[in-house]
Structure 1
């Protein structure tokens, strides 16, 4: 299994050109998204929502505010990772969900709710924005690795106007804000596919402190 993971990570690269004729199956797409749903998050609060944009007109609009990068429209699917902006509702939903799944009363979970609310409540608006955005990158990494294991190409993206994407998709009224995007599909005639992976050595990036 460990060889399979390493091989998949060596195989993957940030795909720039996608084959417009090849589509990711519904099952594989769900597996990729499921890996994001199951990603760890601080407090287990999941301050995110993942949007799969299938409307061609919307993808064209998003491409225009993404420096005209073809992968936005050419990839099989475009996944947009957003963060939740409504912190208070997020905590309430988490506690209610925990009560339902674990069979605990809301009263029993009140101290948990107070602990989480207190921790998040200490954030300034800027700190909450950064914290919630950082959580989504954990899910992004999970999706990238899962896609690689399925031999599906992907390209994590930050090169776009997030405010414009929010406006195109009407995210503000949904208490969401765009963080990053992930086109997924199958590589086309992309020079990057044949380039050697440039990485620092294991010894350079890892230090064991005993």
Structure 2
């Protein structure tokens, strides 16, 4: 049951570098991100999978020296589009039309979309794309829990330097969040075993009749 897995998971602070996440589990975690809902189905983000030890070591130096970056077997970097462009939006429409074999008036819908997005400044569009990336990020965290894989959601990094290390700006991308995947160490993790604390439902959920 997913809720049981979500209670099991926590933001692992120390991972066992001797254990590697099987490829098939990583693929399902990535697939969860790919299947995530996004505004107008644009999927304005990509996931970069880092396994090279030297690259992970460089990322650690710009990620507050968090050991999970190097101890995890896989590091997922969620990177959003730096801007919405006509080419990118048209590419989404072309894929939809090709795969469905029909258009169903989508031309008009995406024309309106371009009318809204393209006049906006790049930073506003990046922030919108980043919010879509977080949806995929959350889905990957849930899938990792379902797979029994430890994951540590991270925003603690120098985004510009991560972008440089991975060459993201050349691809029209900017890093948003990072998700190391691995297995919790047997000891040395101060958070392991502590009670999961969340606000009670009556302070979290408001029902409007």
TM-score, shorter chain, exceeding 0.5 = yes
Matched, 1:176 2:173: yes
Residues of 2 paired with 1:60 and 1:11: CA distance? 28
The equivalent residue for 1:111 is 108
CA drift at 1:42: 0.2
Matched, 1:25 2:29: no
What is the DSSP-based 3-state SS (H/G/I as helix, E as strand, rest coil) of the residue aligned with 1:147?
Answer: helix
Who is 1:143 aligned against?
Answer: 140
Task: Look up the match of 2:7.
Answer: 10
Q: CA deviation at 1:18?
A: 0.3
Q: Pick from 61, 64, 86: which aligns with 1:64?
A: 61
Question: Which residue pairs with 2:33 in the alignment?
Answer: 36
- Contact 1:155/1:182 (CA < 8 Å) preserved in 2? yes
Q: Distance in 1 between matches of 2:9 and 2:166?
A: 29
Secondary structure (helix, strand or coil) at the match of 1:177 reads: strand
Secondary structure of the equivalent of 1:166?
Answer: helix
* 1:19 to 1:209, Cα distance in 2 relative to 1, 3 A: same
Task: After superposing the two structures, state which structure 1 stretch, 122-131 or 181-190, moved more.
Answer: 122-131
Structure 2: where are the runs of 5+ without partners?
none
The gaps in structure 1 that reach 5 residues or longer are none
TM-score between both structures, scaled by the size of structure 1: 0.94
The equivalent position to 2:44 in structure 1, one of 40, 44, 47, is 47
Q: Helix, strand or coil for the counterpart of 1:197?
A: coil
Which secondary structure does the structure 2 equivalent of 1:49 belong to? strand
SS at match of 1:87: coil
Matched residues in 1 for 2:173 and 2:41: separation? Answer: 18
- TM norm structure 2: 0.94
CA distance in 1 between counterparts of 2:181 and 2:43 reads 22
CA contact under 8 A between 2:81 and 2:126: conserved in structure 1?
no
Q: Distance in 2 between matches of 1:86 and 1:202?
A: 38
Cα distance, 1:86–1:130 mapped onto 2, change above 3 Å: closer
- What is the CA-CA distance between 1:108 and the residue it aligns to? 5.0
Report how many residues are paired. Answer: 206
